[in-house]
Amino acid sequence: MSAPTLDPSARAAAPGDTFATTAADRFADAEASRRGSIGPVGRVRRLLRALPLDAILAAVWLLLVLVAAVLPQVIAAGDRLAGIPREKLQGPSAAHLFGTDQLGRDLFTRVVHGTRLTLRSAVLAIGIGLASGAVLGVLAGYVGRWVDDVVMRVTDVLLAIPSLLLSLALITALGFGTTNVAIAVGLASAAGIARVLRAEVVKVRTSTYVEAAVVAGNHPLRVLLRHVLPNSTGPVIALATLELGTAVLAISSLSFLGYGAVPPTPEWGSLVSTGRDYLQGAWWLTTLPGLVIALTVLAANRLARAVDAEGRRTR
Amino acid sequence: MTRYLLRRLLQAVGVLWAAYTATFLILWALPGDPVRILAGSDATDLSDAQLDALRHELGLDRPLWLQYVDGIGQVLRGDLGRSIGSGRPVADLLAAALPSTLQITALGIVLAVLGGTGVAIAATLTRSRVLARVLLALPPVGVAVPGFWFGLLLIQWFSFQLRWLPALGDKTWTAAILPSIALALPSGAAIAQLLSKSLATTLREPYVDAVWAKGAGRFRVHFAHALRNAALPALTYTGVIVGGLLSGTVVTETVFSRSGIGRLTATAVTAQDIPIVQGVVLFAALVFVVVSLVVDLLYPLLDPRIRLAGQRSRDRARAAAGARGSASAPSSARAAHSHTELETTGVRP
């Protein structure tokens, strides 16, 4: 994997724009959602109506990926491990949508069943990255002063090391396997997430309604939990979606290199890696699983941009 | 100026020291037992006494802080330790692998910059809305494509089907072309995204209106006025982009079977050869620090409105910019602002 892929425009644009909304707007919005006039369902419906067509297509694709991860047999009923030797290395056809591999196994079934492992690692990585990044970012942004300085210098250093190399160092120490790969990818993304969250918390902390809450004599912890955090979560959703793309890319790259899933268990990156030995004769073994990875990352990035833009418009 | 340079140099050394500390903590101090990792699959066959002997031989039976201080002393003398697998000095291994990597990263940077700026400029310059939309749709695809997959596709098309270029190896000059393209794609896409965004903002500046009103043509507005200002924010990402290229070689060199630093890293991780991994991470941090330093020092030359911190002339420069005509004043503030803002968001394209 080359540059750990984030959509730079999505992040670079994050700070600044929300200055346009006033404290009163946010307060009203928070009030409205608390009273239940627009619940989570209403929000999703509103979001769907506002999203452009390509973003909705992206959401549909990600939903399909999710179904493939949770209930793979619904999409591909066949056996992911048993092959029919007579039908080995056949090109894509109606019977075998993605063709068959060197052992006559149906590639489509293997890609669908491989989704679970890839997505599980990606979700684990995002969870770890968000949790550790959030702790650092909120500490830095809310406590400020020397804590802020220390956290920022630490992230400076971590950002000076390309995240793929950072994950490789972590894998060397932790050992191989899909869980370790997920932990490594998650920890390597923490510094960047901490930066974004810090910027957001600083912005909210300095707003008038937070000042009002402090002046009213609330405990700092209460101000943090009741006022600062709920109002800083908007960009986190967009960020998590963005990280999904990054994590899928990083995880499939690391399993392509051979540090993740062990064959014959199907996983997106290792499927491409196995197909590499048959590059000259059987193009579908590398091209089609890779296409699925690319589409998933593209969809996650597209949806992240749409959610980010929508969040900024309504806030 | 000298004081500023000294402070920046000190900062750079500080980042390197911290990067060493971070890798030391990750690789040597994590709960796992380095000796068992180093011994690999043989570890189960070895007796405790043998493991202890190995530990002693590698100096791992000393207290952690002593290993750390010793390690720093070695690094200062240019000694990155020895490979566990081959016993050769890590610095030699890196030096031997560097030329092959340099070949594709240098070509990769050129391709990424040319391609990225080309797409960004063409997208804002064109009068055709359809073409602009198509061009602007390219960079998001570029950053989403897995590097290993794109490399394999290139081999399929240009080596196996068209038979234009060699697929593997690093013996001939032509063998560097495909890996460079594979390496350049995500970086080029990131540059295109950054630049097209900043071009769009720049073109909305009042001074651009003034240039239009003066009667300047499309090309003059874009190339002589807008591009120079728009390129500056993108420039702050040079360190990140070069770092991305360097880490991209791990996958690219594996795909194209080139024996460069990336391949060295991949095999070292597979063999869990800790000193090599540590050396590579340190090398990457060094590259990032040096590139960032150079960009920071060049920045005021490219943008005379920005003076290096610590110089008293800052206010005078701002006054001068204002006197020269209000046209450049607002973008000066923006450029300085976005410079710091981009840094604080920690974007990694």
Average pLDDT per run of 10 along chain B, which is 349 residues long? 83 88 82 63 66 73 80 83 82 91 91 91 86 88 91 87 75 83 92 89 85 82 81 81 88 90 91 88 90 84 66 44 34 34 32
Does B313 share its domain with B349? yes
CATH number for the domain spanning B242: value is: 1.10.3720.10
Contact (CB, 8 A) for A183 and A174: yes
Domain contains B81: no
- Asked if the model's pLDDT at residue A15 lies above 80, the reply is no
Q: Give pLDDT, residue A1.
A: 35
ipTM score assigned to the predicted complex: 0.80
> What's the whole-number mean pLDDT along residues A244-252?
92
A150 and B CB contact within 8 Å: no
Does B49 share its domain with B194? no
Does B141 share its domain with B211? yes
Does B129 share its domain with B272? yes
Q: Give pLDDT, residue B319.
A: 41
Determine which of A71-85, A256-270, B148-162 has the lowest per-residue pLDDT on average: A71-85
Q: Give pLDDT, residue B313.
A: 45
Does B97 share its domain with B179? yes
Give start and end residues of each alpha helix (H) in B64-176: 64-76, 90-125, 129-144, 147-154
The chain-wide mean pLDDT, for chain A, equals 79
Does B328 share its domain with B263? no
- Asked if the model's pLDDT at residue A250 lies above 60, the reply is yes
Q: d(Cα A90, Cα B311) in Å, to the nearest integer?
A: 70
**With bands split at pLDDT 50, 70 and 90, how would you rate the model's confidence at A199?**
confident
Residues within 8 A of B (CB atoms), A 213-252 only: 245, 249, 252
Q: Give pLDDT, residue B199.
A: 87
B268 and A CB contact within 8 Å: yes
- Asked if the model's pLDDT at residue A3 lies above 80, the reply is no
What is the tens place of the pLDDT at every residue in A99-110? 777 777 888 888
Total domains in chain B come to: 3
Q: Give pLDDT, residue B263.
A: 92
Cis peptide before A266 (omega within 30 of 0): no
User: What is residue B209's three-state secondary structure?
Assistant: helix
Q: d(Cα A246, Cα B106) in Å, to the nearest integer?
A: 25
Q: Give pLDDT, residue A169.
A: 92
Q: d(Cα A230, Cα A240) in Å, to the nearest integer?
A: 16
Q: d(Cα A1, Cα A251) in Å, to the nearest integer?
A: 9
Does B199 share its domain with B287? yes
Contacts 24+ apart (CB under 8 A), B79-82: B80/B275, B80/B278, B80/B279, B80/B282, B81/B275, B81/B278, B81/B279, B82/B275
Domain contains B313: yes
Does B28 share its domain with B161? no
Does B275 share its domain with B334? no
Q: Give pLDDT, residue A183.
A: 93
- CA nearest to B335, candidates B313, B317, B310: B317
Does B116 share its domain with B229? yes
**With bands split at pLDDT 50, 70 and 90, how would you rate the model's confidence at A34?**
low
Percent of chain B with pLDDT over 90: 18
Q: Give pLDDT, residue B271.
A: 85
A272 and B CB contact within 8 Å: yes
Residue B43 has φ and ψ, to the nearest 5°, of -55, -35
Q: Give pLDDT, residue A30.
A: 56
**Looking at beta carbons, which residues of chain B come within 8 Å of A6?**
143, 347-349
Determine which of A59-63, A311-315, B69-73, B214-218 has the lowest per-residue pLDDT on average: A311-315
Q: What is the DSSP letter of B161?
A: I
Better-scored residue on pLDDT, A194 or A223: A194
Does B169 share its domain with B262? yes
State which residues form the domain around B44. 14-76
Domain boundary among B25, B47, B76: B76
Domain contains B349: yes
Does B295 share its domain with B314? no
**Looking at beta carbons, which residues of chain B come within 8 Å of A253?**
146-148, 251
**Looking at beta carbons, which residues of chain B come within 8 Å of A156?**
15, 18
Domain contains B3: no
A143 and B CB contact within 8 Å: no
Q: Give pLDDT, residue B46.
A: 67
CATH architecture for segment(s) A46-80+95-314: Orthogonal Bundle (1.10)
What is the tens place of the pLDDT at every residue in B89-134? 889 999 999 998 998 999 999 999 999 999 998 888 888 888 888 8
What is each CA distance from A107 to A86, A114, A169, in whole angstroms?
Answer: 15, 10, 32
- Asked if the model's pLDDT at residue A5 lies above 70, the reply is no
Smallest Cα distance from B1 to chain A, Å? 24
Count of C-beta atoms within a 10 Å radius of residue B37: 20
Beta bridge partners of A106: A100
Q: Give pLDDT, residue B126.
A: 83
